[in-house]
Amino acid sequence: MNRLRWLKFGAAASLVVPAVVIWTADSKIALLLCMIWVVAAAALWIAVERKEHAERLDQTVQHMQEASIRTLNHHRHDWMNELQVLYGYIRLQKPDKTVQCVERIKDRMMMESRIAKLGEPALVLFLQSFRTASQSLQLDVVLEEEVDWTLLGSDSAPLAEVLRELVDAYRLGIQPGHGDAPRLMLEFAQYEGVVEVAMQLTGELQNVSHLEQNVKAMLADSKFRLVTLAPQMDRMVLQAETC
């Protein structure tokens, strides 16, 4: 990447030569050669720009692939734990515990299915991969019914980005401590003409007023409407109108 950047700078700096020649020379041949020089420098700049863009794209794809692999491995580990618990209850011939375990697995599968059906890929990936990326904050996602985030239209992606930033703000604002990690519950709901997100925090914050300022700044230019904001920032309800 540094080599490509130096090539761009070199192409730009080389334009000093034809500029000086154009300024001082009267020969048409010299002027023609200067024009060729300028075109060649521009072509080199464009080629390097395309190369840099391709490398950045490759890096982005690689990071997404690595994140997806970590998420899949994490989910596989969780499901293996659930199956081991279920197998243990079956071997111990505990029908009540077996039924409870099956119900828990069924509810979890239903919840993950509803998350996958939100419709906004960036939001789905963020919610499903958060547990693999954060140890300081546990994220619980609740959808009692299916929610179609794409009904927000052109605001779908920007609002998903705002929601991600809000979750990260809580993650960074958590008071470090021992024991179980604090939990942030995101509850999604959809009403006629409205998508709602309720955020409920269980844990302590380092600086409530600082987090409040950050949250309000994030929401200032977004299409989210702040419905509820608890004084201690442990509960917040947002709504956005569908198209």
* 8-67: pLDDT as tens digits: 566 555 655 555 555 555 555 656 666 676 667 677 767 777 777 777 777 777 776 677
- CA dihedral for 225, 228, 230, 236, sign (positive or negative): negative
pLDDT at 11: 55
CATH 3.30.565.10 fits 118-243, yes or no: yes
Residue spans of alpha helices (H) in 92-145: 95-116, 121-133
What strands lie across the sheet with 183-191, from one edge to the other?
A: 138-143, 183-191, 194-202, 235-241, 225-229
**Residues of the chain with pLDDT > 90: what percent?**
39
Low-confidence ranges of the chain (pLDDT < 70): 1-35, 37-39, 41, 45, 64-65, 133, 177-179
